[in-house]
Amino acid sequence: MVKPFLSIIIPAYNESERLPLTLIDIDKNLSEQEYSYEIIVINDGSTDNTAEIVERFTPIIKNLKMLDNKENHGKGGAVQQGMLIAKGSWRLFMDADNSTSIAEFNKILPYLKEGYDIVMGSRGVRGAVINPPSPLRRYLAGKLGNLFIQMMLLRGTKDSQCGFKCFSEESAERIFPILRTKQWAFDVEVLVLAKKMGYRVKEMPVNWADSPASKVRFSSYFKTLWEVIKIWWWIKRDAYKLNG
């Protein structure tokens, strides 16, 4: 296979209901583009028929492949796997529920030409559209969580948790092998490491559709904040050996 321009990584845990429409949308959008691509679904220990869904679509969707984990590795672990087996010059992970459509990648392209190494979708910067909006409780929890993340590690980053981020081949292959966080706060760890390594990062507004079937539970916010504290400690102790 010719080296693809773009790799799309989709972590999927029990996504048999939402994944089909996402794959159809990706195929529709990318089949109209001139650049080459691959689509990698990480079936992360699903107990439903997610794997069967991907296998059913593989013959009809160009360059679709699956990594089938028999055990759940966590979202961060699944994205890490996908980033490291991907072959693309650019590697983007997105959510299986299609909260942000792959059509938004066309907005990323100008920033790649400007020399950015990482472009992250954001619901918190001017120009972002959230429709339908998040329930009030989740909205408030997200805002408070972001303030904590900014205070601890990522000052100025308006939305570290949006599941739509694109990495250059080099940045992906330097950052993801040393990732320690396997669950929800892996985005924070990735961005902190990118900053420490000197990569240029752009936060870009996206269109976001909040899914009523979101797997993010209220307790997940507290788990994320605890993981953020651990990342802060690892950075403080130079656990990543970034300072020599």
How far is residue 157's CA from residue 166's CA, in Å, rounded to a whole number? 16
Would you state the pLDDT for residue 17?
95
The chain-wide mean pLDDT, for the chain, equals 93
What the block records as the tokens of 115 is 């020399």
> Can you say how many angstroms the Cα of residue 80 is from the centroid of all Cα atoms in its chain?
10
pLDDT tens digits for range 93-127: 999 999 999 999 999 999 999 999 999 999 999 99
> pTM to 2 decimals?
0.93
Mean pLDDT of 169-183: 97
Would you state the pLDDT for residue 214?
59
What the block records as the tokens of 66 is 């699956």
pLDDT tens digits for range 191-220: 999 999 999 999 999 999 987 655 556 567
Domains, the chain, in order of start with CATH, read: 6-236 (3.90.550.10)
Q: At residue 135, does pLDDT exceed 90? A: no
Would you state the pLDDT for residue 97?
95
